[in-house]
Amino acid sequence: MKLKRAEDLAERDRAIDFFALTEHAHMAVEEQVLLPGWLAKVPDGPGAAEQMARRVHDEHAALRLAAKRLESEEVTVDDLRELGIVLERHVRYEERELFPAIERDLSEEDLNALGEALERAGS
């Protein structure tokens, strides 16, 4: 929200820290543990699930690129706001579509095992 409402470049350093300290690791855990764990257990085969996972990978790549661009001297307040919008959209997608699909597709036992794997990975 702070990025979406940025008034000046003061929010830039906080955003750089956020990505460096937490978000990059969070995205890696999703890509290396959550998504493969889900795709391996999808009962009807991974068709639509693979498309959802690809979207998450693509959005993560875009977020990484945008985060890297924050370190550029040419970043503007509009760039910060746009990153805030993209990040919010991504989070909402995961909350409203991805996570419910995972919960729907996996048994309680599989969900528990995936949760434990995420905890071990530091999510």
Task: Give tens-digit pLDDT for 13-34.
Answer: 999 999 998 899 999 999 999 9
Q: Which residues contact 11 (CB under 8 A, 6 or more apart)?
A: 2, 3, 80
pLDDT band at 86 (very low <50, low <70, confident <90, very high): very high
pTM: 0.89
Phi, psi dihedral angles at 74 (to 5 degrees): -90, 5
**How would you class 6 by CB atoms within 10 Å of its CB: exposed for 0-12, middle for 13-18, buried for 19 or more?**
buried
Residue 102 Cα distances to 49, 50, 51, 59, angstroms: 9, 12, 13, 18
pLDDT in tens, 88-122: 999 999 999 999 999 999 999 999 999 999 999 98
